[in-house]
Structure 1
Amino acid sequence: MSHALTADKSAGEDSPIPLRVTLARTRLTYLELHQKPVAHTEQTLATDYLARNRGNLAEYQKVVAAALAEEVDKARVRGVMSVMSKADILRARTDAQAVAAERGVDRATLRRMIAGELDTVMNACVDNTSSPHSPAGEPCRASFMLCLDCPCARALPRHLPLQVLVHDQLEARRDELTPMQWAQRFALPHTQLADLLARHDVRDVQDARADATDGDRAVVARFLTRELDLR
């Protein structure tokens, strides 16, 4: 049955043309509006539905670009965790007091941090009960992804392989999600990790990627599927 619906008027048209309402068009409209898969995977949504609809592609790209820019701006404002270099760790052997002061911790915490006793996933946590993400005095229950800009986090050289793996996995997920979903979920930590890796020599980052172990990859897999979150 016809409902006398018309399409949006295009440039050069004297009047809008009749709109043919079909199940396929209705489904595509719903998917565009909600950016969520229905009875299919997120990758199918991105590649088989949204990517094939060129009619509104330019507008969609503008929206995605704006979302990406917003998340990147957040990353630039919030920054990333404090980083200890190999030289800092070597210096801590002979001048622990100075290195501890530079990193905002006491000597005992510095020792535990260097020994790996305070490790989370991508860093060490120097004060688990003073997190900005939990009530004062209570253990932090936030996702380890939030360590990226936490004042309690300190990155040491041994954390570099895990940081590289997480960065690479977030990048790989671009092909599994719609551009908007990726921007909203991963653009912020991806940018923070990119900035963190940029603090290291390119060769060190390459070596960390090559030297990552199966154990590192297993930890990252569990981390990104949120198996390590406290629930």
Structure 2
Amino acid sequence: MTYQVQIEKRRQGGGRWFSTENVTDSGADSSGRLITQALEATAHGRALVHRLAPDNNLLMVARMHYPKRRHQGTERPRPVGPCAFGIGNGDVQLWWTTHDLGGSPFQRARRTTVTREGRPLQHSQGTHQSIYVLPDEHVQRSSRSVFEAGACEALEQAQAVVFLGGITDAPAPGHQQTVTSDCADEAASPWPDAEGGCGADFLLCLACPNARVHPGHHPRLAHLHQELHSLRSVLPGRSWNERWSEHALRLEDLRDKVGSAAWNAALGRVDEKDRALVHLLVRGELAP
């Protein structure tokens, strides 16, 4: 036997208060068996209601303790004679206090059903995530690996915008000069070109473990850092983030490693060559 049940949910917005659901009684363990038992248990009450109000077709009917008491609850239909319909807030509270429960058994059953289904049923995706999914202990335990993977990925991204080279006190013989640093081994570049050399943009030199920065580089790099932040005030935020944010963060990491005092002092040693090279670098007119 299949029953078509009309569901009313007054808290759902946009006038979508009513929906229908088919529930089948196919045996003792089926979801529809409860409806069959409810029909049997309420047969006499529904017969009385039908005589008093023939158009009434509500299923959950019970005899009121105080039939003459004024109807006040708005969460359930108006009574017919001595018969009341549905379950009110007072019925739920009486149930859980009588059986020494910590709260409504209907809420706990709903939470179990929603988390077992793993998808929103009669609520929004936001409600599903915040009310049912995130507080659930089973979901929290099963999500630990996901959180761990996300944290590792975030760490990798953070490490990708730090200075990966070395800091030295002076230039080393045999190191090749670049616009932003010296290169200790061009043949071992993380970004090789077709001829076996380095194909990286000069700004990426600071993301290379072969980079070596000494005090002679400080004025130019400090000036470059200053120019990148000047661009931030004139470019759209998204454009600046896509093109310059990683390089700016990498320069800030280098500044912290060099020391703010030395970095700020280097700005006083910026010469015309430094300004010209930084200008060309920012315009993208320097080929690697």
- Displacement after TM superposition at 1:135 (Å): 4.6
**Larger of the two Rg values belongs to structure:** 2
**CA contact 1:75–1:188 (8 Å) conserved in 2:** no
Q: Which secondary structure does the structure 1 equivalent of 2:276 belong to?
A: helix
Question: Sequence identity of aligned pairs in percent?
Answer: 28
- Structure 1 runs of 4+ aligned residues shifted over 4 Å read 70-73
TM-score by length of 1: 0.53
Going from structure 1 to structure 2, the CA distance change for 1:72 and 1:217 (only over 3 Å counts) comes to: farther
Give a deviation string over 1:115-143, Cα, whole Å, max 9, x none: xxx11011001122221111586121221
Q: Which runs of 5+ in 2 are unaligned?
A: 1-13, 15-152
- Residue 122 of structure 1: which of 164, 180, 186 is its match? 180
**Cα distance in 1, alignment partners of residues 189 and 200 from structure 2:** 9
**Cα distance in 1, alignment partners of residues 234 and 155 from structure 2:** 20
Paired position in structure 2 for 1:80: 163
Using CA pairs under 8 Å that are at least 6 residues apart, name the structure with larger relative contact order, 1 or 2.
1
Work out whether 1:167 is the aligned partner of 2:221. Answer: no
- Displacement after TM superposition at 1:74 (Å): 2.7
Q: Which runs of 5+ in 1 are unaligned?
A: 1-13, 15-69, 90-108
Q: Which secondary structure does the structure 2 equivalent of 1:192 belong to?
A: helix
Provide the alpha-carbon RMSD of the alignment: 2.8
TM-score by length of 2: 0.43
Instruction: Please tell me the residue identity of whatever aligns with 1:80.
Output: F
Paired position in structure 1 for 2:253: 195
- Displacement after TM superposition at 1:201 (Å): 2.5
**Cα distance in 2, alignment partners of residues 76 and 229 from structure 1:** 26
How many pairs are equivalent?
Answer: 139
Q: Does 156-165 or 132-141 show the bigger shift? A: 132-141
- Residue 221 of structure 1: which of 279, 283, 286 is its match? 279
Paired position in structure 1 for 2:208: 150
Give a deviation string over 1:39-98, Cα, whole Å, max 9, x none: xxxxxxxxxxxxxxxxxxxxxxxxxxxxxxx99973434531323343xx4xxxxxxxxx
Going from structure 1 to structure 2, the CA distance change for 1:75 and 1:162 (only over 3 Å counts) comes to: farther
**CA contact 2:220–2:270 (8 Å) conserved in 1:** yes
Between structures 1 and 2, the one with greater strand share: 2
